[in-house]
Structure 1
Amino acid sequence: MPRRPGRGTAALCTGAVLLSGCSGGGPAGRRPPDVPSAAPVPVPASPASPTGVAGPPVDPARAPRTPGRARALVAEVIAGPADFGPAARPGLPYESDPGQRPVLDGECDWRQRPLPREVLATRTRSFRIPAGPGREAARLTATVTVYRSSDDAAWELARAMEDLMRCPAQRLREDQWVGALFPAALYAGEQDDSATRDAFSETGEFHDQSGGPYPYGWSAARYGPVTVAVGVRGGPGTGRESIAPLVASGRARMLLRAGQRIGRWA
């Protein structure tokens, strides 16, 4: 993926900020210490991930050029509860402010900022998968962002990787943070994402006032000027192996819809 110099620390919207249910505006502070891992307890099964997604080249004539067209595309691509299985329910709030997104500052704290010029439209939805009365097994987010160009989208994904290397622990607000973050990057359809030009994932641990660590995963992928991302945070006792299929399924379904709408089909 290309690297764009001198662009500061704005990054592709991370699922951790939105999974926390906060605005990303907490004060800077000392990074919290690591704490022991929790024992695994399964969450409800996710739907099978689409496989063998064939990604056609992007058709420039179908790619949005205005904020209005970009907002329409976002609405068609973004995941709904059914994309995460029959147990998934809308979260509260269900959708984020479309005029802002989180930005990782120099102190590794997340803060809300207005959309930059290169972003035409973005939207994030939140979901929950209950594990039982009064306890949630998982919280999820799905994000779709449309950029002015494919290069803008690629540079933004590259900055997300750079931010993770710079800040392996990140504060969401005073009493919520993620740590022990581990990255993985794919390029040009490696592994099973033949629709993907670039992809980036991170796994780690989420902590809040109720305790932790709880398993956390986030994955983003790019199709031309469109990026899609899914974040998942497990609840008390949730196993990491239970959240990975949720991330893969949601991301693959949104990528498929993006290709159907702006791909060049013979």
Structure 2
Amino acid sequence: MATVHGSALGADEQLSTTLEEVLRCPEQRPRSAERITGLMSLGTPFGAREQQYADDSVLEAGTYAENGGAGQPYRWMVARLGTVVVAVSVTGGAGNTEQELNELGSKALAKMLTRVEQRLKGK
């Protein structure tokens, strides 16, 4: 997913909302048969904790379950470059490790950010 805002402030507001929503609702129901529990979020602005890839980023992590089934790791990774916000959602399945999910989500987010950066520079 990618969203282009009219200003960097508007894009920052989207990331702030993402970060704060988890604090208000650590359990969410995206659809009637789906449940995400144990949600935590972590915001990391550029330069903090060696984050050098975006102006700001948020990681949301929890456990996803569908139709009352077993829970699987869930990650939602959001990043901002200028006025553009990109997001990747990754949900595990049987046999997937959390490390594999983190790598998959990180690679997808990096590709999206590279494309955004190229477009912003006019390449």
Tell me how far apart the structure 2 counterparts of residues 239 and 203 of structure 1 sit (CA, whole Å): 14
Amino acid paired to 1:236: A
**1:223 matched to 2:65:** no
Tell me how far apart the structure 1 counterparts of residues 57 and 12 of structure 2 sit (CA, whole Å): 10
Partner of 2:91: 233
Partner of 2:52: 194
Tell me how far apart the structure 2 counterparts of residues 209 and 264 of structure 1 sit (CA, whole Å): 46
Instruction: Within 5 Å, give how 1:1-266 maps onto structure 2.
Output: 143-209=1-67, 211-263=69-121
Cα deviation for residue 237 of structure 1 reads 3.7
- Which residues of structure 2 form unaligned runs of 5+? none
Tell me how far apart the structure 2 counterparts of residues 175 and 264 of structure 1 sit (CA, whole Å): 43
Q: Cα RMSD over matched residues?
A: 1.9
Tell me how far apart the structure 2 counterparts of residues 187 and 168 of structure 1 sit (CA, whole Å): 22
Tell me how far apart the structure 1 counterparts of residues 33 and 119 of structure 2 sit (CA, whole Å): 41
Question: Aligned residue pairs: how many?
Answer: 123
Tell me how far apart the structure 2 counterparts of residues 235 and 165 of structure 1 sit (CA, whole Å): 26
1:113-162 CA-partner distances (Å, limit 9, x unpaired):
xxxxxxxxxxxxxxxxxxxxxxxxxxxxxx11111111100111101111
Amino acid paired to 1:218: W
> How does the TM-score come out when normalised to structure 1?
0.44
Tell me how far apart the structure 2 counterparts of residues 210 and 168 of structure 1 sit (CA, whole Å): 18
- Which residues of structure 1 form unaligned runs of 5+? 1-142
Contact 1:169 1:180 in 2 (8 A): yes
Instruction: Give the secondary structure class of the aligned counterpart of 1:243.
Output: helix
Tell me how far apart the structure 1 counterparts of residues 121 and 53 of structure 2 sit (CA, whole Å): 10
Cα deviation for residue 191 of structure 1 reads 4.2
Q: Which has the higher contact order (CA 8 A, sep 6+)?
A: 1
| TM-aligned CA distance change 1:255 to 1:225, over 3 Å | same
Contact 1:218 1:229 in 2 (8 A): yes
> How does the TM-score come out when normalised to structure 2?
0.90
Instruction: Give the secondary structure class of the aligned counterpart of 2:29.
Output: strand
Amino acid paired to 1:180: G
Identical aligned pairs, as a percentage?
32
Contact 2:44 2:51 in 1 (8 A): no
